[in-house]
């Protein structure tokens, strides 16, 4: 992707995220997005087939970044060195939300939070499933629990914890909430 395409994509992301914070998802049209981004309809469709595809791409970009171990320290937190366990994975995600990286906190609190959270849950399930299968997500498997059940439970529980935390104004530190989540997920394991 060349620089012009990257700038266009960034403009579409920014416009879409602003609209998601302001309006219900169902009331956002492609015309709204392109007007806010300052691009033409053909340009939009050269990048995305629908606004659903744009939302999927935004969510995927956020979660793929967060759930890939960073190679270098990031501003505000450093998970490039220590152990890659459940606490570190969740704390890393929560730090990005607290820093409103990529506008994710705004999306969670916005008028379209139900649609955004459902997409995040689906992407989180896919990422958790893949990482559980590869043994990269250190979730304790007790007994004969199916991995798909475990990934679903993980995704639903984490989405609930994130929503609870963000809607309360992120009063607790990310590491504290990650600790709460790990305690609940590993209780009885």
Does the pLDDT value for residue 162 go beyond 80? Answer: yes
Contact in structure between 155 and 121 (CB atoms under 8 Å): yes
Residue 83 above 60 pLDDT?
Answer: no
For the chain, give every residue range classified as CATH 1.10.10.60.
3-50
pTM metric for this prediction: 0.74
In this predicted structure, what is the pLDDT of residue 137?
A: 62
Superfamily for 3-50? Homeodomain-like (1.10.10.60)
Q: Which residue has the higher pLDDT, 89 or 102?
A: 89
- pLDDT tens for residues 61-82? 776 666 665 565 666 655 556 5
Which pLDDT score is estimated for 74? 64
77 DSSP β-pair partners = 74
pLDDT tens-digit readout, 164-175: 999 899 999 999
Delimiting residues of CATH 1.10.357 domain(s) in the chain: 64-186
For 64-186, give the CATH class. Answer: mainly alpha
Per-residue model confidence (pLDDT) at position 84: 64
Which residues, including other chains, have CB under 8 Å from residue 58's CB and lie 6 or more apart?
13, 16, 17, 102, 107
């Amino acid at each position: 992707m060349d620089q012009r395409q990257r700038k266009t994509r960034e403009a579409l992301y920014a416009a879409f995220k602003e609209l998601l914070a302001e309006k219900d998802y169902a009331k956002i049209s492609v015309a709204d997005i392109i007007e806010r981004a300052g691009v033409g309809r053909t340009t939009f469709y050269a990048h995305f087939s629908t606004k659903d595809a744009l939302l999927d791409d935004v969510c995927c970009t956020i979660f793929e970044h967060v759930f890939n171990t960073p190679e270098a320290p990031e501003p505000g937190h450093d998970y490039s060195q220590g152990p890659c366990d459940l606490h570190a994975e969740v704390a890393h995600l929560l730090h990005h939300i607290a820093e409103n990286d990529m506008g994710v906190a705004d999306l969670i609190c916005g008028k379209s939070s139900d649609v955004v959270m459902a997409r995040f849950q689906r992407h989180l399930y896919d990422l958790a499933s893949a990482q559980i299968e590869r043994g990269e997500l250190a979730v304790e498997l007790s007994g004969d629990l199916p991995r798909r059940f475990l990934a679903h439970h993980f995704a639903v529980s984490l989405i609930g914890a994130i929503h609870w935390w963000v809607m309360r104004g992120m009063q607790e530190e990310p590491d504290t909430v990650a600790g709460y989540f790990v305690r609940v997920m590993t209780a009885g394991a």
